[in-house]
Structure 1
Amino acid sequence: MKTTRRQALWLIAGVAGGALLHACIQSAPKSIDNTFSASMGLLTWVGLTPLYIAVEKGFFKQQGLNLDIKVFSANADSNAAFAAGRLNGIAPVTSEAVLIAAQGKDFRIIMIQDISLGADGILARKSIADIKNLKGKRIGVDKGSVSHFFLLQVLSEAGLSEKDVTLVAMTPEAAAAAYQAGKIEAAVTYSPFLEQANAEQKDGRVIYDSARMPGAIADLFAFDTKFLEAYPQAGYAFVWGVLKGLDFLNKNRSEGLAIAARRLNIKPDELDKNLNLLKLPDLQSNIDMLTNPQSQLFLGKQIQEIAKFLLAQKQISKLPDLSKLIEPKYLKAVSDSGIQ
């Protein structure tokens, strides 16, 4: 794909901003009083494993960041709270980021949390031979969330639309439970609920998962623009903490899994299996995905394509301005200073 002027501006702004931020970080006092707080809305999700480790091990606090985590059961609730200014940050997927931008919210995506490689999926009864046979069926799904738009993409591939099925609004956890109990014919959910329901409901299987649509579902970390401007070190501290958590997981896997498993209320070995369905990008992979238009997983291309899809599906009324949405300067500052 050719580099457009807009994409080139992202790269230039990232380099300049990263240099300025790095200078700010180098001169910032490290006293105990130099602390700042950020409220963040999160769901129960295996991709947050490095973040859970960072909280437990105090990595955010090492950089002066007090992260106040607010746990939500549905994406729509956390996204609404963020759009209303009640949260400083959230962890949306690409489709949700486009929706929030379309609502006029000013925010920046500062890093990629994970890429789904099978962690999101559609459960269906054995009598449903393929996606086309979902026509006329009741499907449990968290409307307005990643699960909803993933379903729309899958239906579109099969020549179907939302009008061809009956959507039953429920959270991903509730959708999995309803499918497991035999109350609905199909459900859209994600790990760990996906695997749990699939194991318990013998009359069914995962009919489609995100491994068949690489890059379609990426979980992101995003913060309010005014918050980042008011606390320029907050973005750096957050990125550093998450990457430090990932580094800890890679070097101390058993302990890291145990920490996150407690947060997720699942067994460490179950979490280990779930993580195999995700790509947790390291520092260089993150920089590449946020700045390199030649990368297969370049986020700039992904959000543009998703925005066009949502417009065609009439989920948004017009294409939002996505030109300033991606901000890689915090990743670049961490790259300059290192993770020690």
Structure 2
Amino acid sequence: MRTTKLLLSATLGLSFLGASLSTHAQDKPLRIGWVYALGNAPAVIADRKGFFREEGVNVEIKSFGDGPVVQQALSSGELDMAYIGVPPVYQWYARGLNSRILAKVNYGQAAVITQADSKIKEVKDLKGGKIAGIAKGSGMDVLLRGYVLKEASGLEPDRDINVVSMPAGNMTAALDRNLVDAAFTWEPFISTALLRGTSRVVLDVNKAIPEYPWYIVMGMPRTLAQRPDDVLKVLRAHHRAIDFLNKHPDEANRILAEAFEIAPVKTADGREIAPVKVIEEARKRIGWSDRIENTDLQFIQRLINYSRSLGFLNKDLKATEFIDTSWQQRAVQAPAKPAAARQN
């Protein structure tokens, strides 16, 4: 009898401990990293509008300068989910980081710009010159070398044109000082340069490849396994943020101008343009959607193929290997919570 009581007590104790650990895991903030770029605006909106909180998930949001740094934080266990570009996901997937793309974040964002008075009309006119880009092997570098230079313009990177790596924030100054002939950059850097009146667009990638996907929401296997309900809540908040961006552009633009610390733009003739105008200008080249379409899968496969041909990927991959749209479908199909329940 005593033995039976001891076993029962031990069993109850272990059950209580398991429940306690599970509850504790759910109480811990879900750590979400995001690349500091306007394309990832839904992460900012969901946080600042309280959508994560209203969906009942405790999150900790942290911004990073680029995708490779985010992936390092993911692989070291510092993050659970991320808003990140597609290329870092499949590059690290090929190395064994078995993460999954769960939803889309945006489309568009990148362009080649040059000085307003430059004689360059097309990217192919840059042959023999210099173009600013970010770190070799990064997602934007894959798009620059694989599509912009090779496929769209017939230029061989490093042979026909010199790609000069630098932070995006330094590119406009490099153009002004004639250190480079053009720059491949993204929003809001493009719009700031255009509104200054010192630059013009040579190639808008979103016009060449309409609504091409770039940033996505991804989750780590341990997160998907241990905190599935919280993942769905994050995706619901993400969906609401995109809906807000599309239906309330004026308020969203004000939030983004503040969040990205956009400074007033000084034009060549001395005028000052309000920060919110930078976001309005950027919307000409960028938009937001969470739904992964067949055309998105096709474009992602193109990126994979570019990476492989450029020597940035050590194996052949299929986009469907690491994209799981079932999470997004479950999140969107789930019944919405009443407002009162969201606040509790």
Q: State TM-score, norm by structure 2.
A: 0.77
Cα deviation for residue 122 of structure 1 reads 0.9
The letter for the 1-side match of 2:224 is L
**1:306 aligned partner:** 303
Is 1:147 the counterpart of 2:140? The answer is yes
CA distance in 2, matches of 1:251, 1:41: 25
Secondary structure of the corresponding residue to residue 156 of structure 1:
helix
The structure-2 alpha-carbon separation of the partners of 1:103 and 1:120, relative to structure 1 and needing over 3 Å to count, comes to same
Larger-gyration structure (1/2): 2
CA distance in 2, matches of 1:32, 1:256: 34
Structure-to-structure mapping, 1:58-97, within 5 angstroms:
58-97=50-89
The letter for the 1-side match of 2:301 is Q
Aligned partners of 2:126 and 2:161 also within 8 Å: yes
**2:110 aligned partner:** 120
Any unmatched runs of 5+ in structure 2? 1-22, 263-274, 338-344
Is 1:205 the counterpart of 2:197? The answer is no
Cα deviation for residue 209 of structure 1 reads 1.5
Aligned partners of 2:34 and 2:70 also within 8 Å: yes
Is 1:281 the counterpart of 2:289? The answer is yes
CA distance in 2, matches of 1:53, 1:317: 37
Q: CA RMSD in A?
A: 2.5
CA distance in 2, matches of 1:253, 1:132: 36
Is 1:160 the counterpart of 2:155? The answer is yes
Cα deviation for residue 182 of structure 1 reads 3.4
Cα deviation for residue 215 of structure 1 reads 4.8
Aligned partners of 1:91 and 1:220 also within 8 Å: yes
Is 1:183 the counterpart of 2:179? The answer is yes
Which sits farther off after the overlay, 208-217 or 50-59? 208-217
CA distance in 2, matches of 1:311, 1:182: 33
**2:99 aligned partner:** 107
Secondary structure of the corresponding residue to residue 65 of structure 2:
coil
**1:272 aligned partner:** 280
The structure-2 alpha-carbon separation of the partners of 1:251 and 1:115, relative to structure 1 and needing over 3 Å to count, comes to closer
**1:16 aligned partner:** none
Secondary structure of the corresponding residue to residue 115 of structure 1:
strand
Secondary structure of the corresponding residue to residue 92 of structure 1:
strand
The letter for the 1-side match of 2:112 is I
CA distance in 1, matches of 2:243, 2:197: 36
- Encode CA deviations 1:14-64: one digit per residue, 9 max, x unaligned: xxxxxxxxxxxxxxxxx9995442222223322233321211122112233
- Whose RCO is larger (CA < 8 A, sep 6+)? 1
The structure-2 alpha-carbon separation of the partners of 1:325 and 1:255, relative to structure 1 and needing over 3 Å to count, comes to same
Cα deviation for residue 205 of structure 1 reads 2.1
The structure-2 alpha-carbon separation of the partners of 1:306 and 1:235, relative to structure 1 and needing over 3 Å to count, comes to same
CA distance in 1, matches of 2:248, 2:324: 30
The structure-2 alpha-carbon separation of the partners of 1:241 and 1:35, relative to structure 1 and needing over 3 Å to count, comes to farther
Any unmatched runs of 5+ in structure 1? 1-30, 290-294
Aligned partners of 1:181 and 1:201 also within 8 Å: no
Cα deviation for residue 73 of structure 1 reads 2.1
**2:329 aligned partner:** 332
- Encode CA deviations 1:165-196: one digit per residue, 9 max, x unaligned: 22222122222332244332211110110121
Identity %: 23
**1:315 aligned partner:** 312
The letter for the 1-side match of 2:114 is A
Aligned partners of 1:180 and 1:200 also within 8 Å: no
The letter for the 1-side match of 2:157 is E
